[in-house]
Amino acid sequence: MSATAATGLDAGRQAAEAQRRKEQIRMWSARLISLAVLLIVWQIFGSRVNKAVFAPPSRVIEAGLAMAQSGELWSYLRGSLLTLIYGLALSIAIGLPTGILMARSKLAGYALEWYVAAFNSTPMVALVPLITLVFGFDVTAKVIVVIISAVFAIIINTEQGVRNVDQRLLEVARSFRTTERALWGDVIVPSALPYIAAGMRLAVGRALVGMVVAEFFTAVSGVGYLIVRYSNSFEPDHMLVPIVVVMALGIALTAVTGGIERRIAPWNKHEE
Amino acid sequence: MSGNDEKMRIERATRTFSAGSVVAFQDLDLCVPANQTLCIVGPSGCGKTTLLRCMAGLLTPTAGRILLDGRVVTAPSPAVAMVFQHFGLFPWKTVHENACYGLKLKGIPRSEWKARIAPYIELVGLTGFEHMYPYQLSGGMQQRTGLVRALALHPEVLLMDEPFGALDAQTRELLQEELLRILERERKTMVFITHSIDEAIVLGDHIAVISARPGRVQEIIDVGLPSSRTADDVRLSPRYTELRQHIWGGLRQQAVAAA
Ligand SMILES: Nc1ncnc2c1ncn2[C@@H]1O[C@H](COP(=O)(O)OP(=O)(O)O)[C@@H](O)[C@H]1O
Ligand SMILES: [Mg+2]
C-alpha cells in the first residue's frame, strides 16, 4: 500500500517540478520584457527633455558607474543601510512583543489601540521636523524615523495573527493538557507566523520610505542626502542613481522577506 | 478502580449557553460502562458535542455533575483522549509531529516517541506518510493521524465526536473497521458520537438515543452483539436490521413532532 502510494507521489512530484520550471520561465520573461519596455520608453522620452531636469537611462547608468567607481555611492549607501538595519531590528524587537501583548491582554489593547491607529495613519513627513528638533541630525533621529515608519505594520499584523488563532485548535491543545508555555510554541506562534511575516514585508517598504525621508531632512549622509544634493545642483543623471538604488533595495528586501515567509510557513502555500 | 464496571457517569447534567437562553442538554443521566463502547446518536444541534466537551473537562455543566472513576471531572484528565470531527490537526506539524503531540506534552522522552506510535501508524496504514503535512493528505488520512495521536497516549477512555462524519462513505467504513481492529487488540472505554444509525450499531455495545434540543436521553439500547466483531458480521446479522428499524422509527417520530 505504501509502495504504490510512493510511486504515485513521485509521479506527482515530477509533474509539479515541470510545472514549476515552466512557471519560472514565464515569470522571468514577463519581468525582463517589462523592464526592457520601461527602459526603452524612458530612453526615448528621457532624451528629449532638458538635460538639467531629467536624464535617460543611458546617462543614469554612466553616472552610476562613475559614482560606484569613486566610492561615493557606497559611502553614502552604507550609512543608509545601517539606519535601515538598526531601525528594522528595533521595530521587530518592539513590534512583536507589543502586538502579542495587545492581542493577549484586553487592557493593553484598550490602552494602546488609539495610538497605534493614530501613528499608523499619520504621514511620517509630518513628524520628521519634530523628531529632528528633539533628537538632532545624527543617526539616532534617522533610526527613530525608520522605527516610527515601520513598527506599526509589525504591531498590527502580529496582533491580528495572535488574535486569529483557531479557537478549535486551542481547545485541542487544552484537551491534551497543554501548559501555557507549550501553547505558545505549538499553536499561537506558528499560527501567527504568516501574519507576522506579512507585517515584516510591509514594514520593510515603509522603513525604506522613512529612511529616505529622514535623510532629506536630517543629515549630510545617506542616499537621501545624495538625492537632495544632486537635485540642487541640477544633475538629474546623478540624482536618479540613488533613487534607482533605493528602488532596487525595495525589490530585493521584499523578495527576501517573501522567501523567509515561505520558508517559515511551508504549510501555508497549499493554494498552488 | 471504582469497584463496579462503570467508568463514567453523568448525573442530572444541564448545560446552557447565552445566559441560559440556549439549553444544549437538560437533566441528562447517562452511564458509561468500562471497556465498552457507548454510541450516542441524536439529531444535529441536540447538544452531543457540548456533552462530550463537558465529559472531557473542557466545559463545565451548568448544573449536575460528571464523574470519571467516581471523581468529578473539572479539567481534562490524562486518562482521557479525544478525537475531533474537524480532525484538530496542527497544519504546521507533520503527521509524525501531530501523532506525537500528546506524548510531547506528557513529557515522554523524544527517543521513545517513534516506538510508541509505530504500531498505530502501521495499523491504520499511515506508514510512509509520516513527514507530510495535513494539507497534503486526504480527510481519511488526516483523521487516522488524529486517531493515532489519541491512541498513542494509551488512554483509558476515548471520546470521539463524530470522528468520521466529515469523510466519504467508503473511507468511513474503512475507518470503522480499523477502529474495531484496534479495540480488539486493546479494549477501551469509548464514547462515540455519531448521527449515523449504521455506525452506532456497527461500533456500539450500547446506544443512547438523545432527543432534539434540549437533549435528553430518550432510550438506551443494548446492542447485544459480541464486542469482538467485524463490520460485516454486524451488517449481515438480523439484529442489525431490527435495531436499525427500531432506532430510525424513534428518531423519525421526533423529527415529525419537531416539524
Ligand atoms: N459556545 C457556544 N455558545 C453558544 N451556543 C452554543 C455553543 N456551543 C454550542 N451551542 C449551541 O448549543 C446547541 C448544541 O450544540 P452542539 O453541542 O454542537 O450540538 P450537536 O453536536 O449535537 O450538533 C446548539 O444550538 C448550538 O448552537
Ligand atoms: Mg456536534
Reduced to 3 states, what is the DSSP secondary structure of residue B201?
helix
Instruction: Decide: B17 in ligand 1 pocket, CB within 6 A.
Output: yes
The ipTM assigned to this model is 0.93
Residues B240-247 have a mean pLDDT of 94
CATH class of A56-268: mainly alpha
The pLDDT of residue A133 = 83
pLDDT digits (tens, 9 = 90+) for A69-109: 999 999 999 989 999 999 999 999 999 999 999 998 899 99
Residue B2 predicted with pLDDT over 60:
no
> What residues does each domain of chain B span?
6-79+155-258
Q: Is residue B87 predicted with pLDDT exceeding 90?
A: yes
The answer, yes or no, to whether residue B4 has pLDDT greater than 80, is no
pLDDT of residue A49: 86
Query: What cell numbers appear for B113 in the block?
Result: 516517541
Superfamily of domain B6-79+155-258, CATH level 4: P-loop containing nucleotide triphosphate hydrolases (3.40.50.300)
pLDDT in the model for residue B1: 41
Please give the residue that has the higher pLDDT: either A9 or B41.
B41
pLDDT at residue B107 above 90?
Answer: yes
**Residue B44 alpha carbon, nearest atom of ligand 1:** 23
- CA–CA distance, A12 with A9 (Å, rounded to integer): 5
Q: Using CA of residue A8, residue A11, residue A14, residue A15, what is the dihedral sign?
A: negative
Question: Model confidence over A139-170: pLDDT tens digits?
Answer: 888 899 999 999 999 999 999 999 999 999 99
Q: Where are the domains of chain A?
A: 1-48, 56-268
Tens of pLDDT, residue by residue over B192-224, are 999 899 999 999 999 999 988 778 899 999 999
Residue A272 has pLDDT above 60, yes or no: no
B78 near A CB under 8 A: yes
A4 pLDDT higher than 60: no
| Cβ of B22 below 6 Å from ligand 1 | yes
Query: Is the model's pLDDT at A54 over the cut of 50?
Result: yes
Q: What are the C-alpha distances in Å from A209 to residues A156, A247, B187?
A: 19, 10, 66
Instruction: Please give the C-alpha separations between residue A226 and each of A146, A204, A246, in angstroms, as whole numbers.
Output: 18, 21, 12
Q: What is the pTM of this model?
A: 0.81
Say whether B206 sits in a helix, a strand or coil. Answer: strand
B257, B256, B225, B251: which is closest to B44 by C-alpha?
B251
Q: What is the pLDDT of residue A215?
A: 87
Report which ligand 1 atom has the smallest distance to the Cα of B48: 22
Q: For chain B, say whether A264 makes contact (Cβ under 8 Å).
A: no
Give the pLDDT band of residue A3 (cuts 50, 70, 90). Answer: low
From chain A, the residues in CB contact with B125 under 8 A are: 1-2
